[in-house]
Amino acid sequence: MVAGDGSGGKKWRVLSRREVLVTPIFTVTERENEGPDGKRGRFTVLEAPEWATVVPLVEAPEGPAFLMVRQYRHGSDEVCVEFPGGVVEKGEAPEAAAARELFEETGCRAGRIELAGTVSPNPAIMSNHFHVFLATGLSTSSGQTLDEHEILDAFLVPVSEVEAKMGERPYDHALMSTALFLAERLLSKR
């Protein structure tokens, strides 16, 4: 066992904040913070908007399936299979963002959307949260209404396939592993 002075679980105080780089999707800031023990340091933080993802569960004739999307991701330079999701707009509730993203990316609406959980994507360097919702009772209401640079396909994937392949390409998006875990945890409580 390692001993400490008891200050490890206490918040640090932000003394100053300076924007280093502002982009359309995040702001890089440098913060000077003071710890509970009086130590000071400079820390880089990515300030990003909240994110919301929806895990749409469908009772298909062949068995339970997830409605997922396939799209190219510029950061990994790979095509990923993911649950619908995106940025929570300013003033928008995460649940509303999840419903909006489901509609925009798949043309479907959910009869019921439930919060499965909220996590910090990388609390060491990021300030935002990732909200995961489970959607059931889906109905198709229109076609996709994608953002300018979105090119994606929506399709059904058997739940068993997603469970078996999550964590390997093309199901290797770390936040989707989290979304699957949280959605299945919620389902197990029913």
Distance spanning both ends of the chain, measured CA to CA: 39
Nearest to 85 by CA among 126, 96, 74: 96
Q: What is the mean pLDDT of the chain?
A: 93
pLDDT digit string, tens, across residues 80-109? 999 999 999 999 999 999 999 999 999 999
Q: Could you give the percent of the chain with pLDDT greater than 90?
A: 84
Pick the CATH number of 51-188 from 3.30.360.10, 3.20.20.70, 3.30.950.10, 3.90.79.10: 3.90.79.10
CA distances from 112 to 48, 132, 146 (A): 28, 14, 22
With a cut of 70, say whether residue 146 has pLDDT above it.
Answer: no
Domain with CATH 3.90.79.10 in the chain: 51-188
Q: Is the dihedral of CA 163, 68, 51, 113 positive or negative?
A: negative
